[in-house]
């Protein structure tokens, strides 16, 4: 098994499960009753759809098959494929609409809603295995692959750009974690993503990078927690995850910050946890958190 796959996927799954009990809770309420330990151990759509993506890639000899991806996503929704207890739950509205369109035989390129209010984090949370694919296929067109996988459920350019920034940061950590500190890797990854977008994306797409201005100009990292939103909006989720990573020094500390920001806590913690896992390694994940994770065997099996 490739270490970076296990590092990232276990980091993500633990973050998802740790954060799920805090989902929808206010930051103020969590100050009085913070999440400090694994509770139910249930991982949600974040982990399930990530595992669907990874399983599709692994079982197709590391080829991107968009129809197979959607088939697996639909199987998750309908049959509880790759879930902790056999039932899909916490299904995002945009993802659900895209999958219902697919099940109603709409052409794949038209399944995802494209309105500006369909800019949730539902593709961001599952996109990490595409970076594993890109690491194995360095000649592949990165922007095209990430855009196409995001657009299966989330076709708005804001979602594509968030996924591209995230994947490029993940790739930078995978390649250079032994050489640089995490804060440096975050900034290097973002700068690399922006430079690549200028070369491969069209002018209209590049203009939309303004959504991520606080990440790109690095002002995000020095903000107080009060100025960090942790909603299900893709920009908020990526900002919150990167802020937690840049302002902590361990997997445990990062995840506790991410979870106790509240609101869409499971997805913020999943995104932060995936990158923290890639950097610190799965051995950094508290043993008691791993031990409390439901159906850990299924996660490890998909990782290979």
pLDDT digits (tens, 9 = 90+) for 162-193: 999 999 999 999 999 999 999 999 999 999 99
**Which of 265, 298, 258 has its CA nearest to residue 10?**
298
CB 88 within 8 A of CB 76: yes
Give pLDDT, residue 1.
Answer: 44
Q: Is the pLDDT of residue 47 over 60?
A: yes
Could you give the CA distance from residue 22 to residue 29 in angstroms, rounded to a whole number? 10
Question: How is residue 103 written in tokens?
Answer: 């099940």
Averaged pLDDT, 231-259: 98
Cα(304)–Cα(93) distance, rounded to whole angstroms? Answer: 31
Strand, coil or helix: what is 120? strand
Confirm if 165 and 212 have CB atoms less than 8 A apart. Answer: yes
For residues 28 and 298, the answer to whether their CB atoms sit within 8 Å is: no
Location of structure tokens 């995840």: 255
Q: What is the mean pLDDT of the chain?
A: 96
Percent of the chain with pLDDT over 70: 99
Range 3-303 classified under CATH 1.10.3720.10: no
Residue 207, pLDDT > 60, answer yes
Has residue 2 got a pLDDT over 80? no
Interatomic CA distance for residues 45 and 154, integer angstroms: 15
Kindly write down the DSSP assignment for every residue of 151-191, as one continuous string: TTT--SHHHHHHHHHHHHHHHHHHHHTTTS-HHHHHHHHHH
Contact call for residues 196 and 143 (beta carbons, < 8 A): yes
Structure tokens at 10: 């276990």
How far apart (Å, rounded) are the C-alpha atoms in residues 168 and 174?
10
Beta bridge partners of 120: 233
List the beta bridge partners of residue 233.
Answer: 120
Cα separations in angstroms, 194 against 61, 112, 143, 162, 274: 30, 25, 11, 11, 21
Which residue in this structure is represented by tokens 């855009």? 147
SS3 233: strand
List C-alpha distances in Å: 149 to 24, 135, 179.
27, 16, 30
Per-residue pLDDT of 86-97, as tens digits, reads 999 889 999 999
pLDDT digits (tens, 9 = 90+) for 74-127: 999 999 999 999 999 889 999 999 999 999 999 999 999 888 788 999 999 999
Residue 183 · residue 144 · CB < 8 Å: no
Q: Residues 170, 88: contact at Cβ < 8 Å? A: no
pTM greater than 0.95: yes
**pLDDT of the residue at 89:** 86
| Mean pLDDT value across residues 30-37 | 96
Given this model, what pLDDT does residue 181 score? 97
């Amino acid at each position: 098994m490739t270490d970076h796959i296990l590092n990232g996927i276990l980091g993500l799954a633990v973050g998802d499960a740790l954060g799920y009990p805090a989902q929808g809770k206010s930051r103020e309420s969590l100050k009085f009753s913070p999440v400090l330990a694994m509770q139910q151990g249930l991982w949600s759509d974040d982990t399930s759809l990530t595992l669907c993506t990874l399983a599709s890639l692994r079982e197709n000899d590391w080829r991107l098959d968009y129809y197979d991806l959607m088939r697996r996503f639909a199987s998750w929704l309908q049959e509880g494929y790759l879930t902790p207890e056999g039932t899909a739950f916490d299904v995002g509205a945009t993802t659900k609409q895209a999958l219902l369109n697919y099940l109603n035989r709409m052409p794949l390129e038209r399944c995802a809603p494209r309105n500006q209010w369909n800019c949730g984090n539902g593709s961001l949370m599952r996109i990490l295995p595409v970076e594993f694919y890109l690491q194995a296929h360095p000649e592949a067109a990165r922007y095209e692959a990430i855009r196409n996988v995001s657009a299966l459920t989330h076709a708005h350019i804001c979602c594509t750009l968030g996924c591209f920034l995230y994947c490029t940061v993940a790739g930078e950590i995978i390649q250079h974690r032994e050489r640089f500190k995490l804060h440096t890797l975050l900034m290097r990854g973002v700068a690399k993503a922006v430079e690549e977008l200028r070369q491969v994306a069209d002018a209209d797409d590049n203009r939309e990078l303004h959504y991520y201005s606080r990440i790109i100009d690095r002002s995000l990292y020095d903000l107080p927690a009060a100025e960090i939103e942790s909603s299900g909006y893709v920009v908020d989720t990526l900002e919150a995850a990167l802020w937690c990573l840049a302002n902590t020094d361990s997997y445990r500390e990062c995840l506790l910050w991410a979870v106790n920001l509240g609101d869409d806590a499971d997805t913020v913690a999943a995104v932060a946890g995936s990158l923290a896992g890639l950097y610190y390694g799965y051995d950094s994940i508290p043993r008691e958190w791993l031990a409390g994770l439901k159906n850990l065997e299924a996660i490890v099996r998909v990782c290979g």
